[in-house]
Homo-oligomer: A and B are copies of this chain.
Amino acid sequence: MRLLLDPQLNPATDSGWRRRWFDIIYRHDTPSSRNFDLLLIGLILASVLVIMGDSVPRFHARWSGWLYGLEWIFTVLFTIEYGLRLAVVRRPWRYALSSWGLIDLLSILPTYLSLLIPGSQSLLVVRVLRMLRLFRILKLTQYVEEGGMLVGALWRSRRKIFVFISAVLTVVVIFGALMYVVEGPEHGFTSIPTGMYWAIVTMATVGFGDIAPATPLGRFIASVLILIGYSVIAVPTGIYTAELASSLREASHERGHLDRRGCPQCGLEGHDPEALFCRNCGHHLPTPMG
């Protein structure tokens, strides 16, 4: 969850324009900050669409100039926004070095770099990084309880998932090497890493078919690998579902035991709804809900 949160930020001053802009940029519960968020999301989406459009040969040929201009406009706007973000917080460096600050910087730098290094190839790489900007939209999820619960359950099952992925990768190495030996370069298995790529593609039931076994033995090994994958695909689902179901159960358990009676003698709370006497001092409890 921490990745999706802004660092602990404080406004640079207690009043004045910086305080006002701090509220607009970093808070999300006033009308003006809401409008700012919506405008920002709109601009990010538009700039991503421009980058996408520029990559389509047909559009690039026709509107190359317009797209280039729009790109610079977006970059300037995001630069101003970045400057404002730094100007209105008490500790600018803390923000600049946070994950969100770095993403903000990475989403404007590439356009400026493209002036110094005119190589078209590197330019393209740069455009891609700007897309990470999209992650900022996800900041909204921190307000949606649902999103938090999903990420929470994923986070709590991270060690189980790591053990699972390690086991999968071990199987992948062995089957990748086996297929390299059995099928060989003439059927597309040109090296062990290629065989591992094929094994991952197969075990995860993606199955591109760009590389496929052609010998009877290779097909038999592939079938075994598929059946292994078919049987263990249950594991991540099982881990996650059990974890999520347990969260839901605990949540409903907490709701179900909202007995708010305090003991009149010792003050202890959190009694069983059916309890008649305080479990700590033995004093008679008031009737529930009465």
Contact surface of A with B, Cβ cutoff 8 Å: 48, 51-52, 55-57, 121, 124-125, 127-128, 131-132, 134-135, 137-138, 141, 144, 146-147, 149-150, 153-154, 159-161, 163-168, 170, 173-174, 177-178, 180-181, 185, 190-194, 196-197, 200-202, 204-210, 212, 214, 216, 219-220, 222-223, 226-227, 229-246, 248-249, 252, 266-272, 274-284
- Asked if A150 and B173 make an inter-chain contact with CB atoms under 8 angstroms apart, the answer reads no
* Chain B residues, CB < 8 A from A280: 266-268, 274-277, 280
- Asked if B239 and A227 make an inter-chain contact with CB atoms under 8 angstroms apart, the answer reads no
In the bound complex, what is the Cα–Cα distance between A212 and B277 (angstroms)? 70
- Asked if B191 and A204 make an inter-chain contact with CB atoms under 8 angstroms apart, the answer reads no
- Asked if A208 and B212 make an inter-chain contact with CB atoms under 8 angstroms apart, the answer reads yes
- Asked if A266 and B281 make an inter-chain contact with CB atoms under 8 angstroms apart, the answer reads yes
The 4 closest A-B pairs by CB, nearest first: A277-B282, A275-B279, A206-B207, A209-B209
Q: Given known contacts A197-B222, A276-B282, is B131 in contact with A191 (CB within 8 Å)?
A: no
- Asked if B234 and A57 make an inter-chain contact with CB atoms under 8 angstroms apart, the answer reads no
* Chain B residues, CB < 8 A from A180: 55, 124, 128
A256 to chain B, nearest CB (A): 10
In the bound complex, what is the Cα–Cα distance between A177 and B48 (angstroms)? 10
* Chain B residues, CB < 8 A from A202: 206, 208
* Chain B residues, CB < 8 A from A283: 282
Q: Given known contacts A180-B55, A235-B150, A241-B241, is B279 in contact with A279 (CB within 8 Å)?
A: yes
A29 to chain B, nearest CB (A): 20
